[in-house]
Amino acid sequence: MASGDLQAVDDNDQNNDIQLKKQHLENGFHEEPDFSDPEDFVDDITDEDLLSHLLRQKPTEQSGLQNVVIVDRIPQVGPERAEKLKTVLFKLFSKCGKIMNEFYPLDETNQTKGYVFFEYENPEQALDAVKTYDGHKLDKQHVFAVNQFTDIDKYVNIPDEIEDPQIQEYSTRGNLYYWLFEPECYDQYSVLYEAGEMTAVFLNSTPEPSLLKERKLWTEQNIQWSPLGTYMATFHKRGIALWGGEDFTQLARFAHDSVNLIDFSPCEKYITTLSQQLVMANDANAIIIWDIRTQTKKRAFSADPSQHLIWPIFKWSFDDKYFARIYADSLSIYETPSFGLLDKKSTKIAGIRNFTWSPSQNILAYWVAEDQNVPARVTLIEIPSRNEIRAKNLFNVADCKMHWQKCGDYLCVKVDRYTKAKKEKNEFKYSGMYFNFEVFHMREKQIPVDSLEIKEQIVAFSWEPVGNKFAIIHGEGPSTYSVSFYGIKSGVTVSLLKKFDSKQCNHLFWSPSGQFIVLASLRSTAHTLEFIDTSDFTITNTTDHFQVTDVEWDPTGRYVTTGVSNWAHKVDNSYWLWSFQGRLIRKHNLDRFCQLLWRPRPPTLLSDEKIKEIKKNLKQYSAQFDIKDRMALSKVSKDMLEKRQKLMKEFEENRQKNERMFNTTKKRRNELRSEDNIEDKEDDETEETVEFLIKEEITTIDENDD
């Protein structure tokens, strides 16, 4: 650039500075503002406070290395056999995920050194490769040793001297099942109120519930009971805490930042935690499975933030031996306690949409969507053999929902189907929808399937927990629907038992013991509740609870609660307790009530024969219970009478005490008053007569009377 050009640039900069100063003066600035900090300024705001969401994604020395695995003990071959070896290894390890890069170190003679590096798309795939192929036998001479690249430092820093672990003193956790020994079989329930700031646990005693434990800010979100009722889980910013025992002491802690969702395994051996914040950051520890008793992390997984999250991602078998998930058109089944893939491989199932476990057997059901001329398919497989025990092809399928009966006797698949398609301009168009229910009879030979077709829109479906009935809410609505009850008789016959028309309900709530059901209209304008005894389909009560949002049965089926949650409505927050027949027992108005959850009970230890014997002799037992109830009521009356007598006695003693004090100080009080004031007061005193009507009689006098 010439010197003249440089001079022109400098002149231009000076003109810009002059114009900027003129603009500051026009805007009221007498001098150019200075945004620099004073010399003695101390910044007390850390980067963590300002940029915490960005610092979580700050790269580290280990970033990207978690995706890399080292496969040791591979064959050492020359250039003539290298391509064949690479093809074999790539075919094996690509089953665990997409391989981005591979590197085979060579010696001076271009012969492989006996190990290879594979870089996967994400850490989860790399961990799957370690779990799947560590110890894999390629041939008689070569057994793979597979490790993540980040494990190198762990093995390098192993101390030469072994230190014996410190023996920790055993501390008893108390009886975690004490609540099952309650003499009157009262159940416990937890209540969250004051907009979530207060948490309390009550005993459902009569005539009023007894407070067992109350604590402020016990949880930061909500609470959740474990499936068998042993633990109560609370949510915190740093993780999850489990509480139990007679004093609800803290039994376990699981550190996982910003946990949003948790899921217990059915036998309470494991707990799964998910952090949505780590999911969005594509963190390898977004999902963690923990061992509850040892409080150790068993395995961590990442989740794709671009995909819709369906919780729980992992679904457990009834005995905690297996858990599974759908990942990239494949069904991955893991086994415990190794937490590795079952048979070290995933099952490739193109088009798989959903799956579910049987609640009583290691049988897994999944369905596959239609693909051009290939029909949709519902398949049942046994685990761990993966043998297919039943399959059903379905056509014109839009969606499927699978519902297991609680005892695992039946599986009902609700199929949303298109009506017959019409071809218009080389495109198929569907004119409407209809619905099928495919009922699999799991206890019958060869698992026969019964079909039920309903033309109307399906609002809700629910199995009777103990029994062979199910209920369906259907109709076009939106104000009224029909409720149909079906039963499965001998053989494979599904028959209609009862149909109720013009019902204002959108939810079904069966009693845990079966037979009784509540038809509820939640989060709508109706607020109705109907209690039905399905033994003869008698409506025992029809009532309402204004703005009701929640319905919860107790684990025995004796009581049911309805609540208006502050999370849905800001007024009329309360919960009401009903009997199983719909009799209102009591109302509880709590400030900003949010949630009520009954404490679950483990399955009964009684045999089926013993249960039948109890039902047979129920009248004999009921007479004993009636006597016990009368004694309890008399005890309540006696306690109430004693309480009233005590209060009356305290009042009488206090009255006599004050009367004695009044009489003792009367002379002194008169002395303190002047005689003039007393005379003036006596002159001012006047008498006033008050008349009021006590009784009015009207007598009719006959004119003919003398």
Say if residue 75 is in the same domain as residue 203: no
- Of 538, 523, 480, residue with least CA distance to 504: 480
**What pLDDT, on the 0 to 100 scale, is given for residue 695?**
66
Place of tokens 């309900």: 505
**What pLDDT, on the 0 to 100 scale, is given for residue 44?**
67
Average pLDDT over residues 131-148: 88
pLDDT over 60 at 429, yes or no: no
Place 141 in a pLDDT band, splitting at 50, 70 and 90. Answer: confident
Say if residue 568 is in the same domain as residue 478: yes
- Of 97, 72, 589, residue with least CA distance to 304: 97
**What pLDDT, on the 0 to 100 scale, is given for residue 2?**
47
- Of 473, 476, 358, 458, residue with least CA distance to 408: 358
Say if residue 568 is in the same domain as residue 617: no
pLDDT over 50 at 295, yes or no: yes
Average pLDDT over residues 315-321: 96
pLDDT over 70 at 64, yes or no: no
pLDDT over 70 at 57, yes or no: no
Say if residue 186 is in the same domain as residue 111: no
| 492 vs 289, residue with greater confidence | 289
* CATH code of the domain covering residue 101: 3.30.70.330
Report yes or no on 554 lying in a domain. Answer: yes
**What pLDDT, on the 0 to 100 scale, is given for residue 684?**
54
Report yes or no on 547 lying in a domain. Answer: yes
Write the pLDDT tens digit of every residue in 184-238: 889 999 999 999 999 999 999 888 899 999 999 999 999 999 999 999 999 999 9
pLDDT over 80 at 491, yes or no: no
Burial classification of residue 439, based on how many CB atoms lie within 10 Å of its CB (0-12 exposed, 13-18 middle, 19 or more buried): buried
Say if residue 497 is in the same domain as residue 599: yes
Please enumerate in sequence order all residues whose Cβ is within 8 A of that of 445, keeping only pairs 6 or more positions apart, or say none.
none
| 637 vs 479, residue with greater confidence | 479
Write the pLDDT tens digit of every residue in 625-639: 777 777 766 666 666
- How far apart CA 320 and CA 372 sit, in angstroms, is 38
pLDDT over 80 at 418, yes or no: yes
- How many domains does the structure of the chain reveal? 3
Say if residue 496 is in the same domain as residue 619: no
pLDDT over 70 at 438, yes or no: yes
Q: Are 414 and 457 in contact (CB under 8 A)?
A: no
Place 623 in a pLDDT band, splitting at 50, 70 and 90. Answer: confident
- How far apart CA 242 and CA 219 sit, in angstroms, is 11
**Domain membership of residue 501 as a residue range:** 180-218+465-603
Report yes or no on 482 lying in a domain. Answer: yes
662 φ/ψ angles, rounded to the nearest 5 degrees: -65, -45
Strands annotated E in 183-306: 188-193, 198-203, 210-216, 223-225, 232-236, 239-244, 249-255, 261-264, 270-274, 287-291, 296-301
- How far apart CA 430 and CA 612 sit, in angstroms, is 51
- Of 302, 363, 298, residue with least CA distance to 337: 298
Say if residue 476 is in the same domain as residue 573: yes
Other CB atoms within 10 A of residue 582 CB: 19
**Pseudo-torsion of CA 632, 635, 641, 647, nearest 10°?**
-100
Report yes or no on 262 lying in a domain. Answer: no
Across 63-67, 344-348, 463-467, 665-669, least confident range: 63-67
Report yes or no on 675 lying in a domain. Answer: no
Three-state SS for 414-449 is: EEEEECCEEEECCEEEECCEEEEEEEEECCCCCCCE
Report yes or no on 506 lying in a domain. Answer: yes
Please enumerate in sequence order all residues whose Cβ is within 8 A of that of 336, keeping only pairs 6 or more positions apart, or say none.
269, 270, 298, 320, 321, 322, 323
Kindly report each contact of residues 90-95 with a partner whose C-beta sits within 8 Å and lies 24 or more positions away, as own/partner: 92/133, 92/136, 93/69, 93/118, 93/129, 93/133, 95/132, 95/345, 95/346
Say if residue 469 is in the same domain as residue 598: yes
Report yes or no on 159 lying in a domain. Answer: no
Q: Are 263 and 314 in contact (CB under 8 A)?
A: yes
Cα separation values, 121 from 118, 221, 328, 491, 522, Å: 10, 34, 13, 52, 45
Average pLDDT score, the chain: 85
Write the pLDDT tens digit of every residue in 645-689: 888 899 999 999 999 999 988 888 888 876 555 555 555 556 777
pLDDT over 70 at 112, yes or no: yes
Which DSSP symbol is given to 317? -
- How far apart CA 442 and CA 449 sit, in angstroms, is 9
**What pLDDT, on the 0 to 100 scale, is given for residue 574?**
94
- Bond preceding residue 207 cis, omega within 30 of 0: yes
pLDDT over 90 at 425, yes or no: no
**What pLDDT, on the 0 to 100 scale, is given for residue 273?**
96
Last residue within a domain, chosen from 546, 576, 603: 603
Say if residue 78 is in the same domain as residue 197: no
pLDDT over 60 at 539, yes or no: yes
The whole-model pTM stands at 0.73
Say if residue 623 is in the same domain as residue 552: no
Please report, rounded to a whole number, the percentage of residues in the chain having pLDDT higher than 90.
Answer: 55
Other CB atoms within 10 A of residue 159 CB: 6
Say if residue 550 is in the same domain as residue 626: no
pLDDT over 50 at 325, yes or no: yes
pLDDT over 90 at 333, yes or no: yes
Average pLDDT over residues 375-393: 95
pLDDT over 70 at 33, yes or no: no
Report yes or no on 47 lying in a domain. Answer: no
Say if residue 104 is in the same domain as residue 205: no
